Amino acid sequence: MPGIVLRSAEIIKPLQVATGKLHGDSVYAFERDFEMLLHTSRGDYLWRVGEGYISNCGSIPWLGQKILRVKSYDPDNPLQNAFFFLHDDLYQKKGYEIFDREDSDALCRGGLREAGCSRFQVSTIDFCLMIGAWGHWGDNAYGNFDFLSKLEKVG
């Protein structure tokens, strides 16, 4: 199957998260339900996340954030945050058996570009994800229940 391309995305229900620590990681817990509509080359998908879902968002190391000028969680860029959260969820759920790892990474790259990141920033983040996230496919490190997130094709 050819690679997926993100055409656009729109946040339907806005992000509202609280910060904290879990297992020594900085994490973000959804304080209310969130929805984002993804328009892709393979159709439209609605991603829903329920209150209580926990993620480490971008988890970009401090030095990387300084060099790239991209924050792991940026309160001024909810679309960027949403795609970091989506990437975490896709990896946790093994792409919901809809997308593979390559598709999940491509959606994150496309979303970061749509959120205003430069090609250099996105390609560097993608390289770091390739190195750092390879062992997290199917990993539910924060114990999220399956019902807390859902991805469905809507068009």
pTM, entire model? 0.92
CA atoms of 143 and 43, how far apart (whole Å): 30
Neighbours of 34 (CB within 10 A): 23
Tell me the pLDDT tens digit for each residue of 39-85. Answer: 999 999 999 999 999 998 887 777 777 888 888 889 999 999 999 99
Which of 141, 153, 155, 145 lies closest to 47, judged by CA? Answer: 153
Q: CA of 58: how far to CAs of 1, 13, 70, 122, in Å? A: 28, 20, 9, 12
Tell me the pLDDT tens digit for each residue of 92-112. Answer: 999 999 999 999 999 999 999
Torsion of CA 112, 113, 115, 116, to 10 degrees: 130
Structure-token match 């770091």, residue found:
128
Has residue 2 got a pLDDT over 70? no
CA atoms of 64 and 118, how far apart (whole Å): 15
CA atoms of 48 and 18, how far apart (whole Å): 18
Beta bridge partners of 17: 30
Tell me the pLDDT tens digit for each residue of 105-141. Answer: 999 999 999 999 999 999 998 888 777 777 788 888 8
Neighbours of 118 (CB within 10 A): 13
